[in-house]
């Protein structure tokens, strides 16, 4: 620990997320993280989207053998039901809500804030987009709104995120940080963009890789 700052890590328990965390640990500049990780939390809830009977299948198999549901996944994923009738995005958003409030409880602890400062969350693309959407107060229709890439890093800054006088979201900003840094955006801006931009179906090439199977 240097200058009283040591990041707190929250990581998906899946192997590929752990491997990403290890790569981050090895590549972190010593001046940025003199003592990289002493306090890790591996959460199963930070896992990737649950695709039930599609899980483990090849992408082209899904789009050929389950064409009707694949079309729904492309055009209106918030309506897609798998796993004996479970709404895929309903489950994803529900889990993202639980994780967001659990994270807030952890990072708002005064001892944590004084000893750790900012926190680092290592998770997966679809869950990252859902978690960011939930933090900004966006509905399931925001799925794919952010179009995050694998290994992309975003930064979220917030103040009084559970302040009921501000709609339950307080003051929250976000921006892309890696591999290219972008400008800050507000929750209000994202809600306005989402309202004014109809959901776009997946392109042909995206269909073959977006399910994350």
Digits of tens for pLDDT over the chain (213 positions)? 445 456 778 999 999 999 998 888 787 766 555 444 555 688 999 999 999 999 988 888 998 999 999 999 999 999 999 999 999 999 999 999 999 999 888 776 655 555 556 788 999 999 999 999 999 999 999 999 999 998 899 999 987 655 544 444 568 999 999 999 999 999 999 999 999 887 666 654 455 445 444
What is the rounded CA–CA span in Å between residue 155 and residue 178? 9
Q: Decide: 116 and 8 in contact? Cβ < 8 Å.
A: yes
pTM of the shown model: 0.83
What are the helix (H) ranges across 28-178? Answer: 59-65, 67-75, 88-107, 110-116, 125-135
Q: Which two tokens stand for residue 24?
A: 């981050």
pLDDT of residue 166: 47
pLDDT of residue 200: 65
pLDDT of residue 112: 52
pLDDT of residue 130: 97
pLDDT of residue 152: 94
pLDDT of residue 119: 85
Beta bridge partners of 43: 12
β pairing state of 153-159 and 171-178: antiparallel
């Amino acid at each position: 620990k240097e200058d009283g700052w040591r990041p707190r890590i929250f990581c998906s328990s899946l192997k590929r997320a752990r491997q990403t965390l290890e790569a981050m640990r090895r590549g972190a500049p010593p001046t940025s993280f003199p003592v990289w990780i002493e306090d890790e939390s591996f959460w199963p809830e930070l896992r990737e989207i649950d695709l039930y009977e599609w899980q483990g299948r090849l992408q082209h198999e899904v789009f050929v053998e389950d064409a009707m549901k694949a079309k729904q996944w492309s055009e209106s994923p918030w309506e897609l039901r798998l796993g004996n009738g479970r709404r895929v995005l309903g489950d994803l958003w529900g889990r993202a809500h639980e994780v967001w409030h659990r994270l807030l409880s952890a990072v708002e602890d005064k001892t944590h804030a004084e000893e750790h400062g900012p926190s680092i969350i290592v998770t997966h693309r679809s869950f990252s987009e859902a978690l960011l959407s939930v933090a900004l107060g966006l509905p399931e229709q925001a799925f794919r709104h952010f179009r995050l890439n694998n290994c992309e890093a975003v930064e979220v800054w917030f103040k009084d995120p559970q302040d009921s006088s501000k709609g339950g979201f307080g003051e929250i900003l976000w921006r892309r940080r890696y591999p290219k840094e972008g400008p800050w955006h507000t929750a209000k801006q994202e809600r306005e963009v989402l309202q004014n931009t109809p959901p776009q179906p997946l392109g042909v090439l995206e269909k073959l890789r977006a399910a994350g199977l």
